């Protein structure tokens, strides 16, 4: 019974934040707080995205995100349907 309750709580912790997220996130205009809503992107990675964008200008492709320290192919693939450029 305890395992079942723990499993339900875990699923709630994982599923609820995803349900709160609304629409795609524009990586060229979003704040660090908005970027942190993406999967596998926490506050540090979100800040790195903003810093990269401020130093190098707007992202021109989704692959360019992998140039940001801490953002790899897997993170990009996880968020393909959540990332916008315009």
Return the pLDDT at 12: 59
Return the pLDDT at 85: 85
Question: What structural domains does the chain harbor?
Answer: 2-84 (1.10.150.280)
DSSP conformation class of 66: G
CA 79 – CA 14 distance, rounded (Å) = 15
Q: Which tokens belong to 76? A: 């990009």
pTM, to two decimals: 0.74
Return the pLDDT at 86: 78
More confident residue, 24 or 18: 24
CA 8 – CA 5 distance, rounded (Å) = 5
Q: What is the pLDDT of residues 46-59, one digit of tens each?
A: 999 999 999 999 99
Return the pLDDT at 43: 97
Return the pLDDT at 15: 52
Return the pLDDT at 16: 46
CA 27 – CA 70 distance, rounded (Å) = 15
- Tell me if 45 sits within 8 A of 23, measured CB to CB: no
């Amino acid at each position: 019974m305890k395992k079942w309750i723990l499993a339900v709580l875990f699923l709630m912790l994982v599923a609820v934040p995803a349900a709160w997220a609304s629409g795609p996130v524009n990586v060229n205009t979003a704040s660090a707080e908005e970027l942190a809503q993406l999967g596998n992107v926490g506050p540090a990675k979100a800040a790195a995205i903003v810093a990269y964008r401020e130093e190098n200008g707007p992202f021109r492709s989704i692959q360019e995100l992998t140039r940001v320290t801490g953002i790899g192919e897997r993170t990009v693939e996880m968020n393909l349907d959540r990332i916008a450029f315009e």
